[in-house]
């Protein structure tokens, strides 16, 4: 038995090896963590097959299941099926090291019932006679089993990790393979043996956080062929092994922390950027600094959208500049027609993203406002039947809100924040706009955000118009002279340094355990991810293709949260504190 326990512990240790898949969150010349003394080179972040592994005490779970099994031995030809059926009970715990690979330890208590041609430790009762005249005894082996298993989440290994809060992979298949030690009970002789364990598990989850699953398992436990105490005669052929085969039903509870992150930022990074040395020329270059602000809706950073590159299905920056409503539509227009006619709710109907590229033509045709804070009209639309039908007639599809649990959002939000409850139902809809992302909003920015005096101030619409084009409403939101000057800088100048800082408000409505810490952590992530989205957009644009990655950086501020006492997320005070500030240093050679 001691050898069995030693081998089990050795296998468990082998399963605990950890490999951290880092993903890019910051690009600069060098990134130095104040919490470590080594230089790091982060890796890309948008690959669904890459995650950052957690600390040892994260991603644990407990399980329990009950069921039935049938024993298969050397003399299973005797008796009826009832003679081989026994109940099962198993409890255990385990840990996922990555979304696809884990380990668990289980304890099982049961018995195995069968038949034997010979009397032994496990036979009982009087001998019986089979239909062909052979004599046999019934057997019963009481035992307990302790086993350790390697686990493979087939759904995530093939499909990738779905994320922290997601309605994908609500049904998962898990394969487990392990080894155990089994102890026979209630016999005079000491009997300890090996056992081999094989499980195929189907798990059904019931919420997007995946805290709890209902499990159905097909199980097999294999033993050496004399498990049932039978030693065959020389002229008899034995099975290669004895075994229990059956099904169980149970549940698994996943203990916090349950998810994995896709990036590994330093807690307090320091950025050292090496600037290019300018060779003296006949005339000195013209150096300058430009600055612009990008404002975001509440609970939105763009990090859960498609990558911010040309051709992406949903582009976070395009949504801010020219997107419509939530940028989602109902898949089945006939189902919407039927429910509108019957005055029924639309919640529950399937929705899909709408591409943001070239959305201006749709907006102009439908006569709706597009872009967040790009005009004096808010981006949210009405959900009344007349407005929806009018849009459908002009655009060809029904726009839809974003449904998530009990929340109904009327502007785009991150998947990771969609489940968060807001203080007031009015906050789920954009009810007013101050044109903060348009050139017309620069006066409000100057009055409230104190932009740097040494920098030329532009609006997000100006920058977007210069590097993406001034189609549709962008032309109305931008300033033509500003766009022309920016094009001169981007086309003929040299970008020396680009630095972004993200900010979020102090608003948070979490009331659970460690509410204050949870709220701060949520808003810090939003602030950082907003800056990351803007930098990623600039890096992927043609105007910045000649710019080295070392030129871009994100200043991860120790405290990027701006205090506000406002209860509304749609007022000016709140909107002015959800933004990314970008400074671009440039030179134009004479």
Q: Are residues 314 and 224 in the same domain?
A: no
Could you read off the pLDDT of 140-151 as tens digits, one per residue? 989 999 999 999
Question: Are the beta carbons of 207 and 167 closer than 8 angstroms?
Answer: no
**Is a pLDDT exceeding 60 seen at residue 38?**
no
Q: What pLDDT does residue 46 have? A: 56
- Name every residue whose Cβ is closer than 8 Å to that of residue 487 and which is 6 or more positions away in sequence: 466
Whole-number Å distance between alpha carbons of 529 and 308 = 13
Q: What pLDDT does residue 235 have? A: 54
Which whole number is the average pLDDT over 518-534? 91
Q: Are residues 198 and 284 in the same domain?
A: no
Could you read off the pLDDT of 478-520 as tens digits, one per residue? 999 999 999 999 999 999 999 999 999 998 877 677 777 888 8
**Is a pLDDT exceeding 50 seen at residue 18?**
no
**Is a pLDDT exceeding 60 seen at residue 203?**
yes
Closest by Cα among 163, 203, 196, 198 to 61:
203
- Name every residue whose Cβ is closer than 8 Å to that of residue 360 and which is 6 or more positions away in sequence: 322, 370, 471, 472, 473, 474
Kindly report the pTM of this predicted structure.
0.59
Which whole number is the average pLDDT over 51-65? 92
Question: pLDDT averaged over the chain?
Answer: 84
Highest mean pLDDT among 89-98, 123-132, 516-525: 89-98
Q: Are residues 351 and 382 in the same domain?
A: yes
Q: Are residues 94 and 203 in the same domain?
A: yes
Question: Are the beta carbons of 111 and 68 closer than 8 angstroms?
Answer: no
Task: Supply angle C-alpha 34, 39, 44, rounded to 5.
Answer: 105
Q: What pLDDT does residue 238 have? A: 62
Q: What pLDDT does residue 5 have? A: 45
Q: What pLDDT does residue 98 have? A: 94
Question: Are the beta carbons of 518 and 10 closer than 8 angstroms?
Answer: no
**Is a pLDDT exceeding 70 seen at residue 19?**
no
Position 527 in a domain: yes
Whole-number Å distance between alpha carbons of 244 and 227 = 11
Closest by Cα among 103, 104, 130 to 116:
130
Q: What pLDDT does residue 283 have? A: 66
Position 49 in a domain: no
Q: What pLDDT does residue 263 have? A: 59
Whole-number Å distance between alpha carbons of 463 and 466 = 5
Could you read off the pLDDT of 424-445 as tens digits, one per residue? 889 999 989 999 999 999 999 9
199, 222, 254 - which closes a domain: 254
Bridge partners (DSSP) of residue 85 are 70
201, 227, 254 - which closes a domain: 254
Q: How many residues does the chain have?
A: 590
Which whole number is the average pLDDT over 32-61? 64
Per cent of the chain over pLDDT 70 is 85
Exposure of 178 in the CB half-sphere (CA atoms within 13 A): 32
Position 48 in a domain: no
**Is a pLDDT exceeding 60 seen at residue 204?**
yes
Q: Are residues 237 and 278 in the same domain?
A: no
Highest mean pLDDT among 60-69, 299-308, 445-454: 60-69
For tokens 């230089």, the residue is: 39
Exposure of 305 in the CB half-sphere (CA atoms within 13 A): 34
Q: Are residues 239 and 325 in the same domain?
A: no
Q: In terms of pLDDT, which residue wins out, 382 or 130? A: 382
Q: What pLDDT does residue 2 have? A: 46
Position 481 in a domain: yes
Q: What pLDDT does residue 123 have? A: 84
Q: Are residues 123 and 241 in the same domain?
A: yes
Q: Are residues 235 and 94 in the same domain?
A: yes
Q: What pLDDT does residue 307 have? A: 77
Q: Are residues 153 and 297 in the same domain?
A: no
Give the confidence band of 533 by pLDDT, cuts at 50, 70, 90: very high
Q: Are residues 244 and 103 in the same domain?
A: yes
Could you read off the pLDDT of 544-563 as tens digits, one per residue? 988 888 899 998 888 899 99
- Give the other-Cβ count within 10 Å of 454's Cβ: 9
Bridge partners (DSSP) of residue 216 are 202, 249
Could you read off the pLDDT of 300-341 as tens digits, one per residue? 999 888 777 666 778 899 999 989 999 999 999 999 999 999
Give the relative orientation of helices 333-341 and 385-395 as an angle to the nearest 10 degrees. Answer: 150
Q: Are residues 228 and 301 in the same domain?
A: no
Three-class HEC string of 116-185: ECCCCCCEEEEEEECCCCCEEEEEEEEEEEEEEEEEEEHHHHHHCCCCCCCCCCCEEEEEEEEEEEEEEE
**Is a pLDDT exceeding 50 seen at residue 154?**
yes
Whole-number Å distance between alpha carbons of 366 and 357 = 16
Give the confidence band of 280 by pLDDT, cuts at 50, 70, 90: low
Q: In terms of pLDDT, which residue wins out, 416 or 577? A: 577
Position 212 in a domain: yes
**Is a pLDDT exceeding 80 seen at residue 229?**
no
Position 535 in a domain: yes
Position 465 in a domain: yes
Could you read off the pLDDT of 337-367 as tens digits, one per residue? 999 999 999 998 999 998 887 677 788 888 8
223, 254, 285 - which closes a domain: 254
Q: What pLDDT does residue 579 have? A: 96
Per cent of the chain over pLDDT 90 is 53
Give the confidence band of 76 by pLDDT, cuts at 50, 70, 90: confident
Give the confidence band of 67 by pLDDT, cuts at 50, 70, 90: very high
| The token pair that represents 291 in the structure block | 């600055």
Q: Quick one: residue 59, left, alpha or beta (phi over 0 = left, psi -120 to 50 = alpha)?
A: left
Position 38 in a domain: no
Q: What pLDDT does residue 584 have? A: 95
Q: Are residues 230 and 306 in the same domain?
A: no
Q: What pLDDT does residue 423 have? A: 84
Number of domains forming the structure of the chain: 2
Give the confidence band of 578 by pLDDT, cuts at 50, 70, 90: very high
**Is a pLDDT exceeding 70 seen at residue 231?**
no
Q: Furthest-apart CA pair in the chain: how many Å? A: 114
CATH number at 152 reads: 2.40.160.20
Tell me which residue range forms the domain holding 58: 2-22+54-254
**Is a pLDDT exceeding 70 seen at residue 37?**
no
């Amino acid at each position: 038995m001691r050898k069995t326990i030693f081998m089990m512990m050795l296998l468990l240790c082998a399963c605990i090896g950890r490999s951290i898949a880092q993903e890019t969150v910051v690009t600069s010349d060098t990134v130095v963590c104040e919490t470590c003394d080594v230089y790091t080179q982060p890796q890309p972040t948008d690959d669904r097959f890459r995650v950052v592994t957690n600390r040892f005490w994260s991603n644990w779970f407990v399980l329990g299941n009950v069921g039935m099994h049938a024993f298969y031995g050397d003399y299973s030809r005797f008796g009826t099926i009832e003679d081989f059926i026994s109940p099962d009970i198993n409890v255990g715990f385990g840990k996922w090291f990555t979304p696809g690979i884990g380990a668990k330890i289980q304890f099982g208590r049961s018995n195995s019932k069968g038949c034997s041609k010979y009397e032994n430790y496990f036979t009982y009762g009087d001998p019986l006679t089979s239909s062909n005249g052979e004599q046999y005894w019934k057997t019963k082996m009481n035992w307990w089993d302790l086993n350790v298993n390697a686990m493979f989440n087939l759904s995530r290994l093939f499909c990738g990790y779905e994320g922290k809060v997601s309605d994908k992979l609500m049904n998962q298949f898990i394969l487990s393979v392990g080894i155990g030690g089994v102890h026979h009970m209630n016999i005079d002789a000491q009997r300890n043996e090996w056992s081999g364990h094989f499980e195929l598990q189907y798990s059904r989850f019931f919420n997007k956080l995946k805290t709890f699953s209902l499990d159905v398992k097909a199980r097999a436990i294999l033993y050496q062929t004399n498990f049932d105490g039978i030693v065959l005669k020389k002229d008899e052929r034995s099975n290669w092994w004895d075994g229990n085969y059956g099904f169980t039903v149970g549940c698994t509870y996943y203990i916090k922390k349950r998810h994995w992150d896709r990036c590994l930022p330093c807690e307090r990074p320091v950025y050292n950027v090496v600037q290019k040395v300018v060779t003296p020329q006949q005339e000195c270059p013209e150096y300058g600094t430009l600055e612009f602000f990008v404002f975001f809706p509440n609970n939105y950073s763009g990090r859960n959208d498609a990558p911010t590159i040309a051709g992406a299905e949903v582009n976070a920056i395009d949504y801010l500049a020219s997107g419509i409503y939530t940028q989602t539509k109902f898949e089945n227009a006939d189902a919407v027609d039927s429910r509108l006619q019957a005055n029924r709710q639309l919640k529950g109907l399937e929705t899909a993203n709408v591409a943001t590229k070239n959305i201006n033509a749709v907006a102009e045709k439908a006569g709706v406002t597009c872009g967040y804070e790009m005009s004096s009209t808010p981006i949210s639309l009405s959900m009344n039947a007349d407005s929806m039908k009018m849009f459908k007639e002009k655009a060809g599809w029904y726009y839809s809100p974003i449904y998530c649990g009990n929340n109904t959002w009327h502007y785009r939000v991150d998947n990771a924040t969609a489940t968060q409850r807001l203080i007031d139902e009015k906050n789920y809809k954009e009810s007013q706009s101050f044109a903060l992302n348009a050139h017309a909003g620069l006066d409000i920015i100057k009055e409230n955000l104190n932009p740097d005096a040494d920098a030329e101030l532009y609006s997000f619409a100006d920058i977007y118009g210069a590097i993406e084009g001034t189609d549709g409403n962008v032309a109305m939101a931008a300033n033509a002279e500003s766009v022309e000057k920016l094009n001169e800088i981007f086309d003929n100048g040299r970008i020396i340094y680009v630095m972004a800082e993200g900010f979020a408000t102090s608003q948070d409505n979490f009331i659970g355990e460690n509410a204050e810490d949870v709220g701060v952590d949520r808003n810090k992530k939003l602030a950082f991810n907003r800056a990351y989205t803007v930098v990623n957009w600039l890096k992927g644009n043609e105007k910045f293709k000649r710019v080295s990655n070392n030129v871009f950086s994100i200043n991860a501020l120790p405290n990027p949260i701006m205090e506000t006492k406002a209860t509304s997320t749609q007022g000016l005070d709140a909107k002015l504190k959800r933004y990314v500030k970008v400074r671009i240093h440039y030179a134009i050679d004479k």
